[in-house]
Amino acid sequence: MSYCQNVLEYVIRRNPHEPEFLQAVTEVLSSLEYVTSVHTEYENIGILERFVEPERQIIFRVPWMSDNGNVNVNRGFRVQFNSAIGPYKGGLRFHPSVNVGIMKFLAFEQILKNSLTGLSIGGGKGGSDFDPKGKSDNEVMRFCQSFMTELYRHVGGDMDVPAGDIGVGAREIGFLYGQYKRIRNVYEGVLTGKGIAYGGSLGRTEATGYGLVYFLEEMLKERNTDVKGKKVVISGSGNVAIYAAKKIYELGGTVVAMSDSNGYIFNKNGVDLDSLQVGKEIERKRISQCFAGGSGTDYIENCNDIWSVKCDIALPSATENEIDGKSAEMLAGNGCIAVAEGANMPCTPEAVKIFMENNVIFGPAKAANAGGVATSALEMQQNSMRTSWTFEEVDARLKQIMQNIYKKSSEAAKKYGCAGNLLAGADIAGFLKVADAMIAQGIV
Ligand code: NDP
Ligand code: 2IT
């Protein structure tokens, strides 16, 4: 049995109740076969055994009171997975589905993603099973204050720097920052995605979606084409989806369908993004409520059916495992030429296989959606220098970073014998830097 297979068996034995974590590790270790067969020295120093085990996992109680006086208890998490190349960095997710296995898969992927950005950030992730949907602003504030009242001991500008993810946007980051500052009495860049008035970076809100499309542009160059005139389907209607859609329109593409967890909207002439943005970002409505009847936009209950919509490009930007084998077959059968992952692990292993077999160019999450965390790292740089850059400056750096990530992934795939496989290339390029740092730092 190979070194990677041995380590995978060990991980499966030790984490039997964490299917998403096992899915992520299985995928990465299969890519790393290309590397460990060349770098046989890794085995002697147990690089992979250490790489698959989080440095630290923190689980805590988060009690808070609802407006009607009921006491609620949620569970809070922070997984500090790997700090070989920089302070732990990664978002916070507030969603009822959150559990330790999901936190670990996200933190594990984040190690490689952060390494690919070329910036000095390690991998971490956190969150809670708290559901912000239907809660008042005051309830969200009390929850965030209670969450930070424990989390503050484990984070810091040079230690661990959380940010947003599903269910955590500008409002939540503001409440979390306020409580951290109150407890610690220091003004430091402990979170990213902050408001512009208190240390946030211009361009961070747009970064994941814009970065996704910059990466997509590089993918499309493989086929000598671009976004102009293409029909695009984007799942989700949150931070990543909205700004991916905005950039697609800017480049002359048409977004024909978007979704939330209840259903999807379809407009053959293009989704009206202004109405969607107001409905979602300001009024916090369901997607079904964002468009007036007769506006040419249809609403279809069942979000998974979005993949039956005929398109040239698909950008899954909602959540993990949202495209299964059957949906992938529909996309490929309908002539889709490229899939770039805005969400983390939105395509199941069967779906990825189908895309590769059908010559659909596949942009893996850890490369394609790295623009968000990359711009978070730019926010950290600005905070350290106590300065702020213009939107244009941040956006230009973001574009350059996404082009570099594409190049690194594609070159690593070529070098290690899997040319054209951006998924394996991204895993390999991300891993090599972390492995070098781990080796230099000894057995820790
Ligand atoms: P948001 O909370 O802003 O939006 C999430 C969107 O996805 C909503 O439309 C939501 O619908 C939908 N969604 C969430 N969970 C599910 C589910 N279980 N089934 C179906 N739809 C679902 O989050 P983001 O846009 O920030 O995050 C989206 C994805 O992108 C996540 O995978 C995240 O990890 C990833 N990501 C985010 C980055 C960022 O900077 N924000 C960076 C890199 C990756 P509803 O409102 O109905 O719940
Ligand atoms: O999955 C991700 O990369 C994020 N949610 C962004 C993390 C960050 O620290 O900006």
- Residue of minimum CA distance from atom 1 in ligand 2: 91
* Confidence bin at 95 (pLDDT 50/70/90): very high
- On whether both 70 and 47 belong to a single domain, the answer is no
Tell which residue, 245, 263, 260, 275, has the closest CA to residue 299: 263
| 261 Cα–ligand 1 center, Å | 9
Which ligand lies nearest to the CA atom of residue 89 in the structure?
2
Residue 163 Cα to ligand 2 midpoint, Å, equals 6
DSSP 69-109: S-EEEEEEEEEEEE-SSSSEEEEEEE-TT--HHHHHHHHHH
Catalytic residue positions? Answer: 125
Rounded alpha-carbon distances, angstroms, from residue 339 to 211, 216, 232, 352, 409 = 14, 8, 10, 9, 16
pLDDT tens, residue by residue, 219-234:
999 999 999 999 999 9
In terms of C-beta density within 10 A (0-12 exposed, 13-18 middle, 19 or more buried), how is residue 137 classed? exposed
Judge whether 88 and 80 are in contact, CB under 8 Å. yes
**Residue 206: which residues within 8 A CB-CB, separation 6 or more?**
243, 246, 247, 395
Q: Are 323 and 347 in contact (CB under 8 A)?
A: yes
* Protein residue closest via CA to atom 15 of ligand 1: 319
User: 318 in helix, strand or coil?
Assistant: coil
d(CA 252, CA 232): 11
Does any ligand 2 atom lie closer than 6 A to the CB of residue 117? no
Shared domain check, 309 and 179: no
> Which tokens go with 76?
């809070």
**CA dihedral angle for residue 9, residue 14, residue 15, residue 16, rounded to 10 degrees:** 80
d(CA 290, CA 274): 10
The yes-or-no verdict on residue 270 having pLDDT over 90 is: yes
Q: What is the pLDDT of residue 256?
A: 98
Tell me if 379 CB under 6 Å of ligand 1.
no
Q: Within this chain, do residues 36 and 142 fall inside the same structural domain, yes or no?
A: no
- Tokens representing 48 are 């992979």
Query: pLDDT category, 97, cuts 50, 70, 90?
Result: very high
Q: Among the three residues 359, 378, 399, which one is the final residue of a domain in this structure?
A: 359
Domain of residue 46 covers 1-53+428-444
* Same-domain status, 65 and 47: no
Residue 264: what are its φ and ψ, rounded to 5°? -130, 155
Domain boundary among 187, 216, 246: 187
Q: Which CATH number characterizes residue 172's domain?
A: 3.40.50.10860
What are the two backbone dihedrals, phi and then psi, of residue 164, each rounded to the nearest 5 degrees? -90, 165
Distance between Cα 237 and ligand 1 center (Å):
8
Do 46 and 1 share a structural domain? Answer: yes
- Clarify whether residues 80 and 38 are in a common domain: no
Sign of CA dihedral 121, 124, 128, 132: positive
- Identify whether residues 3 and 47 lie together within a single domain: yes
Q: In this structure, which amino acid lies at residue 353?
A: K
- Mutate which of 240, 246, 281 for ligand 1? The one with the most ligand atoms within 8 Å of its CB, which is 240
Answer yes or no: do 219 and 289 share one domain: yes
Q: List Cα–Cα distances, 117 to 114, 369, 374, in angstroms.
A: 5, 10, 6
Instruction: Verify whether ligand 1 is closer than 6 Å to residue 409 (CB atom).
Output: no
Give 177-188 pLDDT, tens digit per residue.
999 999 999 999
In a domain, 111, yes or no: yes
End-to-end CA, the chain: 26
Query: What mean pLDDT is reported for the chain?
Result: 98
Ligand nearest to the CA of 113: 2
Q: 264 has which bridge partners?
A: 259, 300
**Contact partners, residue 85, CB within 8 Å, separation at least 6:** 114, 115, 120, 121, 122, 433, 434, 437
Q: Are residue 166 and residue 287 in the same domain, yes or no? A: no
Q: 223 CA to middle of ligand 1, Å?
A: 29
pLDDT over 90 (residue 113): yes
What kind and span of H or E run contains 114? helix 100-116
Q: Find the Cα–Cα–Cα–Cα dihedral 221, 227, 232, 236, rounded to 10°.
A: 90
Is residue 274, in this structure, part of any structural domain at all? yes
Distance 165 CA to ligand 2 centre (A): 6
Does a structural domain hold residue 414?
A: no
From the CB of 112, is ligand 2 less than 6 Å away? no
239 Cβ closer than 6 Å to some ligand 2 atom: no
Q: Comparing C-alpha atoms, which of 168, 177, 146, 1 is closest to residue 74?
A: 146
The structural domain count of the chain equals: 3
Distance in Å, CA 128 to ligand 1 centroid: 14
Residues 48 and 64 in one domain: no
- Per-residue pLDDT, averaged over 118-131, amounts to 98
pLDDT at 292: 84
Q: What does DSSP say about strands 338-340 and 361-363: parallel, antiparallel, or unpaired?
A: parallel
The total number of residues shown for the chain amounts to 444
* Percent of the chain residues past pLDDT 90, beyond the cut: 99
Strands (E), 267-421: 298-301, 313-316, 338-340, 361-363
Q: Quick one: pLDDT band at residue 293, thresholds 50, 70, 90? A: confident
Res. 367 pLDDT band, cuts 50 70 90: very high
Ligand 1 geometric centre to CA of 238 (Å): 6
Q: Is the CB of 318 under 6 A from ligand 1?
A: yes
pLDDT in tens, 330-357: 999 999 999 999 999 999 999 999 999 9
pLDDT score of 127? 98
Please tell me the distance from the alpha carbon of residue 412 to that of residue 399, in angstroms, as a whole number.
Answer: 20
Q: Are residues 140 and 226 in the same domain?
A: no
Note whether residue 196 is domain-resident. no
Residue 412 lies in a domain: no
Q: From CA 352, how far away is CA 406, in angstroms rounded? A: 18
CATH number of 247's domain: 3.40.50.720
Confirm if 75 and 61 have CB atoms less than 8 A apart.
yes
403 lies in some domain: no
For residue 56, what are the β-bridge partners?
80
Q: Which atom of ligand 1 is nearest to the CA of 207?
A: 40
pLDDT of amino acid 294: 80
- Write the pLDDT tens digit of every residue in 48-89: 999 999 999 999 999 999 999 999 999 999 999 999 999 999
| Boundary-marking domain end, from 320, 335, 359 | 359
Asked if the structure places residue 420 within a domain, the reply is: no
Whether 200 lines ligand 2, by a CB cut-off of 6 Å, is no
State the pLDDT at residue 295.
84
Asked whether 192 lines ligand 2 (CB < 6 A), one says yes
Question: How much is the pLDDT for 355?
Answer: 98
Instruction: Say if residue 44's pLDDT is above 90.
Output: yes
Q: Is residue 366 part of a domain?
A: no
Ligand 2 pocket test: pick from 94, 116, 119, 165 the residue with the most ligand atoms within 8 Å of its Cβ: 165
Task: Report whether pLDDT(167) > 90.
Answer: yes
Co-location of 355 and 246 in the same domain: yes
Q: Is the CB of 372 under 6 A from ligand 1?
A: yes
Q: What is the pTM of this model?
A: 0.98
Asked if residue 89 has its Cβ within 6 Å of ligand 2, the reply is yes
